[in-house]
Amino acid sequence: MMDDPRLLEIKRFIRDVPDFPKPGILFKDITPLLGDGPAFRKTIDLLAERVREHKPTALVGIESRGFIFGAALAHAMGVGLLPVRKPGKLPYKTKRVEYSLEYGTDALEMHEDAVSQGLRVVIVDDLLATGGTAAATARLVEEQGGVVAGFAFVVELDFLKGRSKLGGRPAEALLHY
């Protein structure tokens, strides 16, 4: 799909930052994309084209950059946005899922009443790397009776094979590195 000229236009707004957040990591910085109105709009339009086919009744945004893309995408599609956050950040009763990282564990939470039985969602984040956070979010949604119709990312780091952790569910990514 990189033959789509709109993807080439937005790709130029992704900046490489070497050695962030630690030495040896080449960070894909999306802040220049967010700072350019036409590029950001184009990104949301491209995501909406891909996400609509999954027919979600809501989107799930993963903290924190998933909120940015998720909120704009939810607005464009006329559906709600359900936030998934790090522990202790949501004000109401929550459901929690813990998941493994390369070194240790982490956890995510969402309100216990966020997902109704059979709610069809697409999980949105800025970047798919190892897939642990996205897979944990899917587990959180499904444990509450929701249906994960797919995932949507602006960037996918193909070499980390995060897609393999998504349980074979559809995953849309605009840009691949």
Which residues are known to be catalytic? 65, 102
Under 8 Å between Cβ of 121 and 146: yes
Q: CA 167 → CA 11, 22, 54, 132, distances in Å?
A: 28, 29, 16, 11
Under 8 Å between Cβ of 121 and 81: no
Residues 6+ apart with CB under 8 A from 118: 145, 146, 147
